[in-house]
Amino acid sequence: EIVLDIDKKEEKPPERPQPRLKDREDQTEAAAAAIQVNRASQGEKRVKMTSIRKRMAENLLHAKQNAAHVTTFNEIDMSRVIHLRKTYAESFADKYGIRLGFMSFFVKACCAALAAYPVLNAEVNGDDIVYHNYYNIQVALSTESGLIVPVIRNADFLSFAQIEGMIRGFTVSYTHLTL
């Protein structure tokens, strides 16, 4: 159950000191190093696959590559979310200067589901299953320039306001790009 508490203190991931950078090449190298440090500190658990599991993975991959796919949609009851948005829309906008949308609810729900079912946040890497202990959520956003799919990193540490702010920032920054 997700509860919206606009007075809750925003949780943030630990801050790392940022080096002063001279040029674009230094920035690129620093960004690559930060990604590696971030991944290492977030933690990943590797588990060796059994022979049966390896064979099942091979069969599933083969089926995916050679068969038609079906997309299904499940309906959910959004009445509680709609009620929360209506109740807190004005105070949320006054406090944070941004509109309370649906996407922050979806991102938080995804984080809760991934925490409850860690296998959904895992990947097969060689003979190992790698369980990720972090939640980087990709969201599809429509802009004037077209569809973009940015990643909200460490989404579980972000508040509703921070998520909505990031989404707004993505759409504003990509609006003027030509794809």
Mean pLDDT in residue range 144-173: 91
* pLDDT tier, 155 (very low <50, low <70, confident <90, very high otherwise): very high
155's tokens: 């989404």
Q: What is the pLDDT of residue 21?
A: 42
Give pLDDT tens digits for 83-138.
Answer: 999 999 999 999 999 999 999 999 999 999 999 999 999 999 989 999 999 999 99
- Is pLDDT of 5 > 60? no
* pLDDT tier, 19 (very low <50, low <70, confident <90, very high otherwise): very low
* pLDDT tier, 20 (very low <50, low <70, confident <90, very high otherwise): very low
149's tokens: 């799919």
Q: What is the pTM of this model?
A: 0.68
Q: What is the pLDDT of residue 11?
A: 52
Give pLDDT tens digits for 32-58.
Answer: 555 555 544 568 999 999 999 999 989
Averaged pLDDT of the chain? 81
Residue 143 pairs in a beta bridge with 146
